[in-house]
Every structure is written in structure tokens, then in C-alpha cells.
């Protein structure tokens, strides 16, 4: 097997494990999807060194799942080789929104190596930081909204399937099923097995 094939298998396995982790979280689909999207959106931003702290803090404020936020943030590790191209696009889009025509600087190729103290420098922040932040919002927000609905549907579907597997139908008469609701909402189960005797049965017994 070629190195490309092995890398592809590792990537698919990594994604599969993260998806399984999302589904296994004991939270409602909304909170899982919300937390995931917090991390996913921060992956677009140039806040290197602070993304993890920001993901946990914002997920806590929005009452999203913090573990899901870290999973969403780590999802961008898959496209690390493509980050320079992504930042270049964000820079161009940010400049376009701001009405600028500056060419992308060469520092975009080594943006992860920029120290935070240097990033706070007035000139670097104005010429590079602000366009990147604006561009990350323009590109990241629509993608994050779409991902929210996709993750919500994925988690809800798999939790419902897990719920059906845990319910043993039909249960013995007089017993109440003990079921953990993965969706964390009221569970109403039918008790058709507790049927009252029919009129025909009653009539037959009275003869």
C-alpha cells in the first residue's frame, strides 16, 4: 500500500473515532452540535496559541459541550498542509471587504510561527491581522452554520438508533422498561402489551 493510501486510511480512521466520540457524549444533540461548531469556527481564525482556551470558554458561555468544541477544533488538523492557502484566501477576502488591494504578504506561509507579541504590533495587526480576522468570519460563519445542521442531524440520528437498540419490545406485562434516553428529552413508550380483554373474550367467558 502506498504512503498516500496509508495516510488516507489514517485520516478516515481519525474522523470515524471522532464521530463515535461525538455520538457517545451524554448531551442533547443541540449542545453537542453547538460545541462542535464553536471549535470548528475557531479553526478558521488566526488566534494561534489561544484557540483551545477560546473554544472551551465560548462553549461554556453558550452552554455547548466543551469536549465537542475541542473535537471541532482538532478537525482542522487534517488540513494543516492547506492552512497557508486558506489564510491567503481569508486575507484576500478580508482585504476585499475592507476595500483594500494589498497583495498577500509572504509571511502568510509561516503564519503559525508568528509570536503573539509580534502580532500585537500596530503595523502587523493592521496590515495582516485585521484582514485575516475579517476574512475568517466571512468564510467561517456560513460554513459553521451548515456544519451545525449536519452535526445535529448526525448525532440525533445515531442517538435515536442507539435508543431503539436499548429498548426490548415487548416487555413483560406489568413491567416498566428502564431506558436511558440519549436525546435527553421525555420518553413516551407505548404499552400496547397491557391490553384490556376484548368484548368478544368477555362475552365468551360469560356463556
12-21 tens-digit pLDDT: 877 888 888 8
Between 93 and 1, whose confidence is greater?
93
Rounded to whole angstroms, the Cα distance separating 194 from 172 reads: 9
Rounded to whole angstroms, the Cα distance separating 102 from 92 reads: 8
Range 99-112 burial, b when 16+ CB lie within 10 A, else e: eeeeebeeebeebe
pLDDT, one tens digit per residue, over 127-149 is 777 888 899 999 999 999 999 99
pLDDT, one tens digit per residue, over 111-124 is 555 555 555 555 56
Task: Check whether 197 has a pLDDT greater than 90.
Answer: no
pTM for the model stands at: 0.70
| Mean pLDDT for the stretch of residues 56-80 | 89
DSSP single-letter state for residue 48: T
Burial class, 63, CB count within 10 angstroms (exposed 0-12 / middle 13-18 / buried 19+)? exposed
Q: What is the average pLDDT value for the chain, to the nearest integer?
A: 75
pLDDT confidence of residue 22 = 87
pLDDT band at 172 (very low <50, low <70, confident <90, very high): very low
Amino acid at each position: 500500500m502506498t504512503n498516500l493510501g496509508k495516510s488516507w486510511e489514517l485520516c478516515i480512521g481519525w474522523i470515524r473515532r471522532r464521530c463515535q466520540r461525538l455520538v457517545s457524549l451524554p448531551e442533547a444533540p443541540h449542545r453537542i452540535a453547538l460545541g462542535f461548531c464553536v471549535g470548528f469556527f475557531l479553526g478558521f481564525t488566526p488566534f494561534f496559541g489561544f484557540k483551545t482556551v477560546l473554544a472551551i470558554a465560548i462553549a461554556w458561555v453558550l452552554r455547548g459541550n466543551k469536549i465537542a468544541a475541542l473535537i471541532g477544533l482538532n478537525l482542522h488538523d487534517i488540513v494543516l498542509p492547506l492552512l497557508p492557502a486558506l489564510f491567503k484566501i481569508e486575507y484576500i477576502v478580508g482585504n476585499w471587504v475592507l476595500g483594500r488591494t494589498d497583495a498577500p504578504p509572504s509571511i502568510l506561509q509561516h503564519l503559525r510561527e508568528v509570536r503573539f507579541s509580534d502580532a500585537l504590533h500596530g503595523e502587523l495587526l493592521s496590515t495582516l491581522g485585521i484582514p485575516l480576522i475579517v476574512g475568517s468570519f466571512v468564510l467561517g460563519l456560513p460554513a459553521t452554520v451548515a456544519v451545525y445542521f449536519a452535526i445535529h442531524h448526525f448525532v440525533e440520528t445515531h442517538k435515536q438508533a442507539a435508543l431503539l437498540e436499548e429498548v426490548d419490545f415487548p416487555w413483560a406485562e406489568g413491567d416498566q422498561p428502564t431506558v436511558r434516553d440519549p436525546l435527553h428529552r421525555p420518553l413516551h413508550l407505548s404499552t400496547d402489551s397491557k391490553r384490556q380483554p376484548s368484548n368478544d373474550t368477555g362475552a365468551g367467558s360469560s356463556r
